[in-house]
Amino acid sequence: MLEAIKSPADLTGLSAVQLSELSEEIRSFLIEKVSKTGGHLGPNLGVVELTIAIHRVFDSPKDVILFDTGHQSYVHKILTGRVDSFDQLRQRGGISGYPNRAESAHDVIENSHASTALSWGDGISRGFALQGSDDRHVVVVVGDGALTGGMSWEALNNIATAGKRSLIIVVNDNERSYSPTIGGVATYLSTLRLTSGYEKFLDWGKDVLHKTPVVGGPIYDTLHGMKKGIKDIIAPQGMFEDLGLKYMGPIDGHDIAAMERALHQAKEYGAPILVHAITEKGKGHKPAVADEAEKFHTVGIVDPETGESLSQSGLTWTKVFASELVEIGKERKDVVAITAAMLGPTGLDQFAQLFPTRTVDVGIAEQHAVASAAGMAFTGLHPVVAVYSTFLNRAFDQLLLDVALHKAGVTFVLDRAGITGDDGPSHHGIWDLALTGIVPTMHVGAPRDGARLRELLREAVDIADAPSMLRFPKGAVQVDIPAFERRDGIDVLYRGESADVLMISVGAMAALAVEAASQAYREGVGVTVIDPRWVKPLPQSLITMAQRYTSVVVLEDGIRHGGIASSISEVFRDAGVNVPLHSIGIPLDFLEHSKRSEILSDIGITAQNVARSVVEWSSSFKEEMQPQLDENENRRQNR
């Protein structure tokens, strides 16, 4: 049946039996394909029937369907004609793991940071209403913890007062915190709450009773209180209605017929409404269901039957950080760990097992995490905030004005810094160096290997009167690169004979820098490679060191615009250093999903390309300087 689904319109004529068969086919298809490519398996196994029901009730792309977060959109992609593209899911030239406008008119939000879709839904539905597009509906699928983000509640607060427009919020509740209310009574009550007659009756009762002298107000308050009390017993999620939103549910999200009934009612309601669906993350896949912690939220290449990883799992940057933080935690009771719904992925689960009272997971609420860390620092604690690099973007205001302004001793540890690869534009960690570069008092360290990560982490938590940050990439940590000399805190990693080029390597680019220097030496250009370890503030000795060379090259895996090379250029300019400076980094662009090595190759950051550039720059400089060198030599001989 799956091969016959080319668009959502192909779902309309299917019977209940056929829909059930299609659901199972989709699950088998997802397990087979995602096990080969990696991706977000568990969330998509949980929304199969839910997504089918949405596409049967609504007319996409005329009706706009938004996903928060976008990693639960695989089934949506299948139903909108992309089933043949899943062999290349998250691969170069293949489909994205998130909605992507270039792929389909059915996709809208490409940014897949959580808790944003409700604001999008508010804006789109307002836009439709203002332009008279009353026949267009907006559906926002919110799940996987997105409601733990404060931005979702800011949106709900505004949506509740928006008036008449068709905005349907589907809460995909896969945490099993509520049992679905099923049966005829529940269906009747849901229908009663949504009928226009019921709403008119409530409006009439409120108006008449409030106009009744003396007793009208108390009677209305009593009846309203009784109604609210009964409602809270039947549907404990009454907080949504207290906010001003109509609420339906809970509904079994795996019952297509029940979901369709609810969605049809919501569609006809004509005002913002919330539909609460209960789903099981990882449904239909035994390994996912058995994985109580993550439900196979995201997987690499795995055995489709057992769920066992088929990838080699060596020592990763995350594991190095996790083990060292545990050791620090044993030594220092003032160190606490904070994360935003990323306890396992950032490695803080190890710290949490040993120090549960000193570990805080705030949910998808990075802004709160950072401001809360400032408060903890005020009491004398030293918080370590561990998040993915891309998610620190969301809390820049708090970093700047709550932490840095108050000189709070908070350490930020950014996993997945630089180019991360498979997850695409919204998940590359290429902005952090530029962002933190403009934060006063900020200390930024970039470890080149596991040994330096351990070393810099200890140095960072010793900084008590200013924020500090460490960053490292995704995946396996490279072999340690020892320095043969440390000069004023700067590690010298490589020194070519008669070196006239100074290469400043930032963090994990060290191995590439050393290899490029070696290749350049074979081409007759001597290069010294250094690792400053701390790239903010820059060591003052860097100025003296740079003046010994004819040119300086900065190699970093953050954006060039406003990055470390820009900072060094400004320092040189202020100090009157006239040494030519060349920048090798990430272009100011949004980079599509692909393997890290492929993207680095695309933008010219390989050892061979770097070496070639160094040789060309050195040759060009010598050609420009040759007349001056000849003149100097003539003067020397004439003397």
pLDDT at 353: 96
Least confident of 101-110, 308-317, 511-520: 308-317
Residue 65 is encoded by which pair of tokens?
């369907």
pLDDT at 265: 94
Degrees, nearest 5: CA angle 200-163-73? 115
pLDDT tens digit string along 9-66?
A: 999 989 999 999 999 998 888 888 888 777 778 788 888 999 999 999 999 999 999 9
- Which domains, and CATH codes, for the chain? 2-181+235-289 (3.40.50.970), 184-234 (no CATH), 317-471 (3.40.50.970), 490-626 (3.40.50.920)
pLDDT tens digit string along 450-460?
A: 999 999 999 99
pLDDT at 187: 45
| 553 contacts 426 by C-beta, under 8 angstroms | no
User: Shortest CA distance to 18 belongs to which of 257, 303, 268?
Assistant: 257
pLDDT at 233: 47
Q: Is 3 a catalytic residue?
A: no
pLDDT at 309: 66
User: Which of 394, 448, 454, 533 does the annotation list as catalytic?
Assistant: 394
The residue type found at 248 is M
Least confident of 143-152, 411-420, 598-607: 143-152
Residue 583 pLDDT more than 70?
Answer: yes
Q: Can you count the helices (H) and strands (E) in the chain?
A: 24, 18
- SS3 category, 252: strand
Residue 251 pLDDT more than 80?
Answer: yes
Helix segments in 270-356, DSSP class H: 286-290, 317-331, 348-354
pLDDT at 179: 34
Q: Is 281 a catalytic residue?
A: yes
Least confident of 88-97, 267-276, 487-496: 88-97
Query: Which pLDDT band, with edges at 50, 70 and 90, does 107 fall under?
Result: confident
pLDDT tens digit string along 157-215?
A: 888 887 788 899 999 988 643 333 334 433 433 443 455 444 554 455 556 555 555 55
Least confident of 152-156, 359-363, 378-382: 152-156
| 506 contacts 555 by C-beta, under 8 angstroms | yes
pLDDT at 288: 61
pLDDT at 224: 54
| 370 contacts 399 by C-beta, under 8 angstroms | yes
Residue 531 pLDDT more than 90?
Answer: yes
pLDDT at 229: 52
| 580 contacts 485 by C-beta, under 8 angstroms | no
pLDDT at 313: 65
pLDDT at 178: 31
How much is the mean pLDDT over the chain? 84
Residue 369 is encoded by which pair of tokens?
């995490």
User: Which of 281, 295, 471, 560 does the annotation list as catalytic?
Assistant: 281
Distances (CA, A) of 121 to 118, 422, 427: 5, 27, 22
Torsion sign across C-alpha atoms 560, 563, 566, 568: negative
| 24 contacts 68 by C-beta, under 8 angstroms | no
The distance from CA 512 to its chain's CA centroid, rounded to whole angstroms, is: 27
Contacts of 42 (CB under 8 A, 6+ apart): 281, 282, 285, 288, 291, 294, 295, 296, 297, 298
The more confident residue out of 336 and 595 is 336
pLDDT tens digit string along 539-573?
A: 889 998 999 999 999 999 999 898 999 999 999 99
The more confident residue out of 494 and 101 is 494
pLDDT at 188: 36
Residue 635 pLDDT more than 60?
Answer: no
Q: What is the mean pLDDT of residues 528-535?
A: 96
Q: What is the mean pLDDT of residues 392-407?
A: 95
Q: Is 267 a catalytic residue?
A: no
pLDDT tens digit string along 288-335?
A: 666 655 556 766 666 666 666 666 668 999 999 999 999 999 999 999
pLDDT at 328: 98
Q: What is the mean pLDDT of residues 509-532?
A: 94
Q: What is the mean pLDDT of residues 429-438?
A: 93
User: Which of 366, 474, 533, 560 does the annotation list as catalytic?
Assistant: 366
pLDDT at 243: 76
